[in-house]
Amino acid sequence: MDELDQLVERAQHEFARAPTPAELENAKARFLGKSGRVTELLKALASMPADEKKSRGAAINRTKERIEAALYDRRRSLAQAELDAQLRAEALDVTLPGRRRGEGGLHPVTLTIERIEAIFRSMGFDVADGPEIETDWMSFTALNNPENHPARSMQDTFYVDMKDEEGRWLNLRPHTSPMQVRYARAHARRYAGVEPMPEIRVIAPGRTYRVDSDATHSPMFHQCEGLWIGENVSFKDLKVVFTDFCRAFFESDDLQLRFRPSFFPFTEPSAEIDIAFASGPLKGRWLEISGAGQVHPSVVRNFGLDPERHIGFAFGMGPDRLAMLRYGIDDLRLFFDGDLRFLSQFN
Ligand code: PHE
């Protein structure tokens, strides 16, 4: 191997060892730069005899071409390596599972209320909504529960330190029964002079508040009020409607109902409604699910209606209770802790 072949080999070797394009250009300068090895050889030609010059010159030029070829090769492979590294770094793994958008769902109590609404709607009931901050008059007085009457203490109530425009104290409604008054008064106004007045058939589900907290009571809970007023509505209708509702709600035709005498200032007679399942873990146990009764004449008067003509019944049940029974939950607080591990099971 002559001196020129060795030069080519050394250049190939140094180019191959250059780890980056910048170092490759430094290596190139050592061979092809202004004072590089090849340039020196070409300069040396000048002092050569003419006959040698030609063949020597041609040999040096071939050497230069081979070195340049080696340089281009190395440039290309360094550029390729750089591109490969970049592609690797920016690679998209299309087999990775995508990032899912969190899916929301309805709260079990909301699902229960929707179920209650659907069943009562199918029986011709309207669904109404009303304020959670209520006047003392709506929460109690209009419901035949006069100021300072001991029956008010049946509901340990949150009062708001504020009065409305008419000077009535405000409270967080302790039950949905004020909705009986609000709905019936609006109905009576709307159908004033219409003979006969269309019946009132409504349920009003919503949040209610009492100073109460344990496994089966929460300071915020839900109630669903029901009201049916007409000229021919009796306690028998209450029994039929409520029995149909419970059997539909629990999808059980052999569910038992019991109306146990009770007291509410706004109904007379009054009852607690208990149910008992014919099968399952709660089989045969009486469970209280609602208060009910025939609307008291004084309350009908507060509706703006004549109690001699308009009579009917009301009930107030607990959707939280119904949800617990339907889903087999034994601690009411689970519904309101906001733990997604619990809540996501219902959707
Ligand atoms: N409002 C009563 C309660 O909260 C329930 C009820 C409603 C009773 C309607 C009779 C009629 O206990």
Query: Does 148 lie in the same domain as 15?
Result: no
| In-domain check, residue 100 | no
- The response to whether residue 139 sits with its C-beta less than 6 Å from ligand 1 reads no
| In-domain check, residue 167 | yes
| In-domain check, residue 278 | yes
Query: Does 146 lie in the same domain as 12?
Result: no
Domain boundary among 89, 123, 144: 89
| In-domain check, residue 149 | yes
Query: Does 134 lie in the same domain as 57?
Result: no
Give me the pLDDT at residue 295, please.
97
Query: Does 51 lie in the same domain as 10?
Result: yes
Q: Which helix (H) or strand (E) holds 247?
A: helix 235-249
Q: Whose CA is nearest to atom 10 of ligand 1?
A: 292
CATH number where 207 lies? 3.30.930.10
- Dig out the tokens for 199 from the structure: 């019946």
Q: Whose CA is nearest to atom 7 of ligand 1?
A: 316
Rounded to the nearest angstrom, the distance between the alpha carbon of 325 and the centre of ligand 1 is 20
Rg of the chain taking only CA atoms, in angstroms: 45
Distance separating alpha carbons of residues 199 and 196, to the nearest angstrom: 9
CA distances from 185 to 138, 175, 224, 304, 308 (A): 11, 18, 19, 6, 17
| In-domain check, residue 97 | no
- The response to whether residue 177 sits with its C-beta less than 6 Å from ligand 1 reads yes
Which positions ≥6 away from 201 have C-beta within 8 Å?
123, 124, 125, 126, 227, 228
138 closest CA partner among 72, 208, 91? 208
Total domains in the fold of the chain: 2
Q: Whose CA is nearest to atom 4 of ligand 1?
A: 175
Query: Does 120 lie in the same domain as 53?
Result: no
- The response to whether residue 175 sits with its C-beta less than 6 Å from ligand 1 reads yes
Q: Whose CA is nearest to atom 9 of ligand 1?
A: 315
Rounded to the nearest angstrom, the distance between the alpha carbon of 191 and the centre of ligand 1 is 26
Rounded to the nearest angstrom, the distance between the alpha carbon of 329 and the centre of ligand 1 is 23
DSSP 35: T
Pairing between strand 200-209 and 267-276? unpaired
Query: Does 73 lie in the same domain as 127?
Result: no
Query: Does 114 lie in the same domain as 84?
Result: no
Query: Does 209 lie in the same domain as 333?
Result: yes
Ligand 1 atom at minimum distance from 177 CA: 1
| In-domain check, residue 99 | no
Domain boundary among 26, 60, 89: 89
Ligand 1 atom at minimum distance from 295 CA: 11
Give me the pLDDT at residue 1, please.
66
Ligand 1 pocket: which of 140, 175, 207, 217 to mutate (most atoms <8 Å of CB)?
175
Ligand 1 atom at minimum distance from 227 CA: 9
Ligand 1 pocket: which of 266, 295, 320 to mutate (most atoms <8 Å of CB)?
266
Rounded to the nearest angstrom, the distance between the alpha carbon of 315 and the centre of ligand 1 is 6
Q: Which helix (H) or strand (E) holds 347?
A: none
Distance separating alpha carbons of residues 24 and 34, to the nearest angstrom: 16
- Dig out the tokens for 270 from the structure: 């009054």
Ligand 1 pocket: which of 264, 288, 299 to mutate (most atoms <8 Å of CB)?
264
- Degrees to nearest 5, angle at CA 339 with 333 and 343: 85
Give me the pLDDT at residue 37, please.
92
- The response to whether residue 267 sits with its C-beta less than 6 Å from ligand 1 reads yes
Ligand 1 atom at minimum distance from 270 CA: 10
Query: Does 306 lie in the same domain as 275?
Result: yes
| In-domain check, residue 71 | yes
DSSP 103: P
Residue 55: which domain range?
A: 3-89
Query: Does 185 lie in the same domain as 71?
Result: no
Distance separating alpha carbons of residues 330 and 287, to the nearest angstrom: 13
| In-domain check, residue 103 | no
DSSP-derived 3-state class of residue 334: helix
Query: Does 118 lie in the same domain as 25?
Result: no
Beta carbons of 158 and 211 less than 8 angstroms apart: yes
**Residue 112, exposed/middle/buried by CB under 10 A (0-12, 13-18, 19+)?**
buried
Which positions ≥6 away from 274 have C-beta within 8 Å?
257, 258, 260, 286, 287, 288, 289
- Degrees to nearest 5, angle at CA 333 with 329 and 334: 55
Beta carbons of 27 and 18 less than 8 angstroms apart: yes
Rounded to the nearest angstrom, the distance between the alpha carbon of 261 and the centre of ligand 1 is 13
Domain boundary among 55, 89, 123: 89
pLDDT by residue for the chain (347 residues), tens digit each? 688 999 999 999 999 999 999 999 999 999 999 989 999 998 988 888 888 888 889 999 999 999 999 999 999 999 999 999 999 999 888 898 888 888 889 999 999 999 999 999 999 999 999 999 999 999 999 999 988 888 777 778 898 899 999 999 999 999 999 999 999 999 999 999 999 999 999 999 999 999 988 888 899 999 999 999 999 999 999 999 999 999 999 999 999 999 999 999 999 999 999 999 999 889 999 999 999 999 999 999 999 999 999 999 999 999 999 999 999 999 999 999 999 999 999 98
Rounded to the nearest angstrom, the distance between the alpha carbon of 113 and the centre of ligand 1 is 17
Neighbours of 131 (CB within 10 A): 14
Ligand 1 atom at minimum distance from 290 CA: 5
Query: Does 162 lie in the same domain as 130?
Result: yes
**Residue 268, exposed/middle/buried by CB under 10 A (0-12, 13-18, 19+)?**
middle
